[in-house]
A = this chain, B = another copy of it.
Amino acid sequence: MKEYIIHHEWKIIEEGFNPAFNRISESLFSIGNGKMGQRANFEEKYSGDSLNGTYVAGIYYPDKTRVGWWKNGYPEYFAKIINSTNWIGINVRINGEELDLAKAKVLSFVRELDMQHGLLSRRFVAELKNGNQVEVSSHRFVSINATEIGAIRYSVKALNFSGEIEFSPYLDGDVENEDSNYDEKFWVEVSRAIGGQEGYLTVETLKTEFHVCTGMWFELTQNGKKVNTEITYKNKEKYVEATQKVAVNKGDELVVEKLSSTVSSLYYSKEQLVRKAKEAIELAASAGFDVLFESHKNHWLGKWETSDIRIEGDVAAQQGIRFNIFQLNQTYSGEDERLNIGPKGFTGEKYGGVTYWDTEAYCLPFYLSTASQIVSRNLLIYRHKHLQKAIENAEKLGFTSGAALYPMVTINGEECHNEWEITFEEIHRNGAIAYAVYDYVNYTGDKEYLAPQGFEVLLGISRFWSQRVNWSQDKQKYVMLGVTGPNEYENNVNNNFHTNYIAVWTLKYTLEVIEYLKTEHPYLFEELIQKWKFNELQETERWADIIQNMYFPRDEKRGIYLQQDGFLDKDLTPVSELSPKDRPINQKWSWDRILRAPYIKQADTLQSLYLFQENFSEEELRRHFDFYEPLTVHESSLSPCVHSILAARIGYSEKSYEMYLRTARLDLDDYNNDTEDGLHITSMGGTWMAFVMGLGGMRVKAGKLTFRPFLPEKWNAYSFRVNFGGAHLEVKKNRDLFTVINHSDVDVPVTVWENESLIKGKTETAFKK
């Protein structure tokens, strides 16, 4: 836990330079645009501790698996979105001495991320060993609309000296990943060119053979006038650099404008890449930093129009929730269905930037509510395109006949994870992917997605569940053995309630979708039957039998479902009675102790109760919450949001607010001492959920929007914005009222605290509880 970030409603601000926090700040001040991401590494050389991170969406390397003891079925590699050509670099020499904040005396230092406009800036005054003092200010953004473009304005003012300053903007493709499994470099050079005010570097990933070409353009001005001194060039393998020297007088200000274009073979043929990079950089250069920024800024304002959350009376909370929204919008823009959301987005190497069930479970709701429908649809299409791989993945594990098991971790549909208890057993992820289909259709009403994509995914997953359960002669019920639930502090358990429940739910929903297809798309359905060799009668009969006869572990005395068989054999001492020296248990306890303890890493049984809360009475929800919450250690950042939403649902407002707060500033305050690895991007989706679905009590039931809002005592008011049913709504909660403002022309029926009301276009309606 660190609290060095200054509170501000729209900005993230760091004052003073603390090298020990540098990696944390590099994460916090990351910028991106869904197509690329850049940690807040310095432009000038920095020889201190740093994690360089430049990431290009979809460009990955399959890093050979490292494992202690191999098990059949383990994947060959772990895919990683890899550190790519450094486009931000500008080496600066002042009277022959290199500017390097690790070696200079830093007299002042401010770093600022303006979230409203998407601009990263930095100002510092440094004194070099030679006594020269410079004031440096840099501004940087990666364009949210012209997504191939990065732009830097880097200014150096000679405070107390005259002499010579040398600027060397460069492109460096000779980069590596810190987390490389075998200390290998992943890139080889394809081509390089440098001359005039431009440079180009094309590199290729080993194995995957992606090409990325980065172009740069630069211009140096002195006190506002272009500098025309000689430019010298350096180039070596995977590296190009241009150097320009300027004679300066004390008080002079030198400004380098450096623009970059990053294009990859994901979007262009390899032959075209250099030309495309050149076209893009020349277009950008003709516009210049200011014009590019103006357009970028306006697009950011547009994003805030539909996704902002305002909190009155708590600047820290305001900053926290906006930071989350900003990062989610930076990470995924939904234009390309081949892309997805890594747990750390583009802000670090951890988790390789690849896809987990986090996307469906924690991020989809944000994009559903705040972005165009195509954005969340593309998240679904990502999985639909991986269906064949999911079928092959299931085949590797012995399943047949089109059963699909989506991977735990993937970038291209192939499994990357290699812990058997997760890879092979944490199969509830398949349920999350099925649920996302429902979630999308329920929220958007876009039933057409079911014909055929949604159906095809559901069919594969239903077939998997149907084969994964087995009949217990002993119980005279279907059981599901050897699974790991969302609570990864249990492994290889039998009859995990959540997994069993979401499996049965998938079967039911698939049957519903089949009815829909038969009614609405009978010809298409006939074709799908052929395509998927779907033996409708036999398969659906088995599904119905499973739905009818699935076993759910239950404690009748307490009136609750049990997380898994045998849960009540544990010593059920609540978390509150653990000694602080035992926390967090995942750092203090050996794995076996964690496994036999009752402590829950993240919502597990409660995950089902949150997803399917309509199927349980409020009293039932409360009984489960009262049993499981005291046993939950929330050692996953994905946990508190679900508890927050459920707590709100059962009227535990304080608990709900407490749970909301646990992740709202997770990264800004480095709550878990791991922000240096990157930001918890997917958990930010969870925080948004906790706000909107917890505090706001928003839910879509039978295609209709409902709210059960409450206002935390510490705040004066809040408001948030959601798209729904073609309308754009802003909702506000203050101490007395809940107001729904319809900014669009479309009428929307809304239920607030059980009162149904039609909010007409361009009107607002206030509700009082």
* Residues in A lying within 8 Å of B, measured CB to CB: 65-69, 71-73, 396-398, 418-421, 424-425, 470-475, 479, 481-482, 491-495, 565-566, 568-572, 586-593, 595-596
Contact = CB atoms under 8 A, between A and B. Distances in A.
Q: Across chains A and B, which 8 residue pairs bring their CB atoms closest together, nearest first?
A: A73-B590, A424-B592, A474-B568, A482-B596, A481-B596, A67-B68, A472-B569, A420-B591
A72 B591 CA distance: 6
A284 to B, nearest CB: 43
Contact of A425 (B72, B396, B592): B592
19 contacts: A71-B590, A71-B591, A72-B586, A72-B588, A398-B590, A420-B591, A424-B591, A424-B592, A470-B570, A470-B596, A472-B570, A473-B568, A473-B572, A481-B569, A481-B570, A481-B596, A482-B592, A491-B491, A492-B493
Contacts of A569: 470, 472, 474-475, 479, 481, 494-495
Total copies of this chain within the assembly: 2
A329 B571 CA distance: 48
Nearest to A71: B591
A590 B470 contact: no
A590 B73 CA distance: 5
A192 B431 CA distance: 67
A597 to B, nearest CB: 9
In this complex, which of A479, A482, A568 has the most chain B Cβ atoms within 10 angstroms of its Cβ? A482
Contacts of A571: 470-471
A465 to B, nearest CB: 14
Contact of A66 (B68, B425, B470): B68
Given A481-B596, A596-B482, A589 B473 contact: no
Given A475-B569, A482-B595, A69 B492 contact: no
A448 B582 CA distance: 42
Contact of A398 (B71, B570, B589): B589
Contacts of A492: 421, 491-493, 595
B397 A73 contact: no
Contacts of A73: 590-592
B71 A68 contact: no
Contacts of A495: 569
Given A65-B68, A398-B593, A482-B596, A566 B568 contact: no
Given A68-B68, A479-B569, 16 more contacts: A66-B66, A66-B67, A66-B68, A67-B68, A72-B588, A73-B590, A73-B591, A73-B592, A397-B592, A398-B590, A424-B591, A471-B571, A472-B569, A473-B572, A474-B569, A494-B566
Contacts of A590: 71-73, 396-398, 424
Contacts of A420: 591-592
A437 to B, nearest CB: 25
A67 B419 CA distance: 10
A319 B418 CA distance: 44
In this complex, which of A566, A569, A589, A595 has the most chain B Cβ atoms within 10 angstroms of its Cβ? A569
**Dominant secondary structure at the A interface:** loop
A421 B419 CA distance: 11
Contacts of A425: 592
Contacts of A66: 66-68
Nearest to A568: B474
A71 to B, nearest CB: 4
Given A420-B592, A590-B398, A592-B397, A565 B566 contact: yes
Contacts of A418: 68-69
B419 A69 contact: yes
Nearest to A595: B482
Contacts of A396: 590
Nearest to A551: B569
B568 A565 contact: no
In this complex, which of A73, A474, A591 has the most chain B Cβ atoms within 10 angstroms of its Cβ? A591
Nearest to A65: B68
Contacts of A570: 470, 472, 481
Contacts of A482: 592, 595-596
Contacts of A470: 569-571, 596
Nearest to A479: B569
A291 to B, nearest CB: 48
Contacts of A494: 566, 569
Contact of A397 (B67, B586, B593): B593
B72 A587 contact: yes
Contacts of A592: 73, 397, 420, 424-425, 482
Nearest to A585: B72
A388 B728 CA distance: 69
A39 to B, nearest CB: 25
A176 to B, nearest CB: 19
Contact of A589 (B72, B572, B586): B72
A593 B67 CA distance: 20
A66 B64 CA distance: 14
A752 B127 CA distance: 97
Contacts of A593: 397-398
A418 B67 CA distance: 10
A590 B595 CA distance: 22
A590 B65 CA distance: 17
Contacts of A572: 473
A62 to B, nearest CB: 15
A580 to B, nearest CB: 16
A487 to B, nearest CB: 14
Contacts of A421: 492
Contacts of A397: 590, 592-593
Contacts of A591: 71-73, 420, 424
Contacts of A565: 565-566
Contacts of A69: 418-419
